[in-house]
Amino acid sequence: MAGLLQLMDNLSFSVNLVVSFFLLISITALFHYLNKNNKKKLPPSPPALPVLGHLHLLKKPLHRMLIDISSRYGPITFLRFGSRPALVISSHTLAEQCLTNHDMSFSNRVQLPSVMMPDMIGTANYSSHWRNMRQIVSVELLSNQQLQATSITRAEEIEDMVHQLFQSHKSHEKAEGPNCYRRLDFRKTIFELTMNVLMMLIAGKRFYGDKIEDVEETQKFREAVEGWFELSGAANAEDFMPLLRILDLQGVMKKMKRVTELNEEMAQKIIDEHRQEGIRKKKTMISSMLEQGKKDSEKYSDFVIRNIAISLLLAGTETSANTIEWAMALLLNNPDILQKGRAEIDAQVGNQRLIQESDLNDLPYLHCIISETLRLYPAGPLLVPHESREEISLRGYEIPKGTMLLVNLYQIQRDPEIWEEPMKFKPERFEDGRSNGKWMAPFGMGRRRCPGEALAMREVGVVLGALIQCFDWQRIGSELIDLTEGSGLSIRMVTQLEVMYRPRKIMTDVLL
């Protein structure tokens, strides 16, 4: 599902190609559409084009375009993307109704033809298969007990990252002199870290950095994973115009099929390796599931294990990396907040050891920084789109079965009726319970709420904390960092974050 919203955001090229193709059937389609819906009381809607619906209105980023529509048509709006109906919600009361009161009715996921892995946790419809995966992940793999048991793995990866940054800067000092700053591709560094953390938890191996064991396998893995992130964000008109699917004008379907096969091949290879005697040096998520599979082979089939492994990897990497990147950008634009966060870490953790997950409960201001980052830049600005399993009555309107639900979390969490100075980065708003009762849902709500929330908060907290604790940070130049948002299901910065850093002298003994 990653990149679903980019598919919508970037359709202008495809739309131009196909307008003439649909011209001959537009009148027929218009009459069909009007006849089908004239008996239903639908929410307010902008004027639509035959066949294309509201595709002509789409601009980047989608969550901002939807703010413009809601300002004219209200907090509940009905749109049509080609053949797909969509319900746009932009108030917290309506969002809560959809995700709690109508939780079951909206428990399906939007199934797009180009997303060829419809059986993952984030893409599967509500079913016994989904409930089985959810139970395994929530109760067994990501329970509080398991998170505590695997904290050492995350700590080792984070320690390895800060040591590499230290050594890289040390070699830079030889040319530039002591106490200098070094330029860093922050986005790349954090993406590779989050990828390694998840791969170590899932499979006990890493595919980035200096400690790579199998170069050929690594290249294949990177092609599979990075290809998924790239292609799932491509424009694909076929997802919204069924008659175009067979044509595959942009070749997305063919490429995605290749990437899907690679992901499944890699996941199965790791499962097979874990079955071999003596191949495992430490306990991993896959080894745990295989062990349970000896007692219940149907519940823990290879099909289930593959989909869980791919789900955790693809869903957990991009979102956590984006949140850490946004947090650092906001801190560099607000150095007083960065210093306040560092002072808390110095006071509570000190400079004789690296911050650990067990320290996070004693670092409330760090938690405030993360909460404020997620308020301004939620990992999913429109959540992961739901789909209605049945016709629903909402605020007196009739919502058809099969309607895509888009909750504009980005807009709701910046609502001036809820938040004072909503556009300002102000972590203090979360201090001392001041924001208790104020609506936020960065990980979703209801039965489709993200099962990886606790893991994400631990990882983001300790990674951001370690970076603040160990290094001095500066912007490149005097200008503020550009906070322009990109489009997509997982919101990222348009301009990839690059920064200047140097080790803090008081942390030298820890970093050596």
Binding residue numbers for heme: 450
DSSP code string of 240-307: T-GGGTTT-TTSHHHHHHHHHHHHHHHHHHHHHHHHSTT--SS--HHHHHHHHHTT-TTTT-HHHHHH
For residues 4 and 63, give the distance between their C-alpha atoms in angstroms, rounded to a whole number: 12
Question: In 3D, which of 5, 61, 29, 4 has the Cα closest to residue 242?
Answer: 29
For residues 152 and 364, give the distance between their C-alpha atoms in angstroms, rounded to a whole number: 22
For residues 304 and 289, give the distance between their C-alpha atoms in angstroms, rounded to a whole number: 9
CA–CA distances in Å: residue 440 to residues 371, 374, 408, 411, 424: 9, 9, 12, 11, 16
Burial-class residue 414 by CB neighbours within 10 Å (0-12, 13-18, 19+): middle
- Give the chain's end-to-end CA distance (angstroms, integer): 41
Q: How many helices (H) and strands (E) does the chain have?
A: 17, 10
SS percent in the chain: helix, strand, coil, step 5: 55, 10, 35
For residues 249 and 234, give the distance between their C-alpha atoms in angstroms, rounded to a whole number: 12
Q: What is the dihedral of CA 347, 352, 357, 358, to 10 degrees?
A: -70
For residues 468 and 462, give the distance between their C-alpha atoms in angstroms, rounded to a whole number: 10
Q: Residue positions in the annotated binding site?
A: 450
Structure tokens at 70: 């809601």
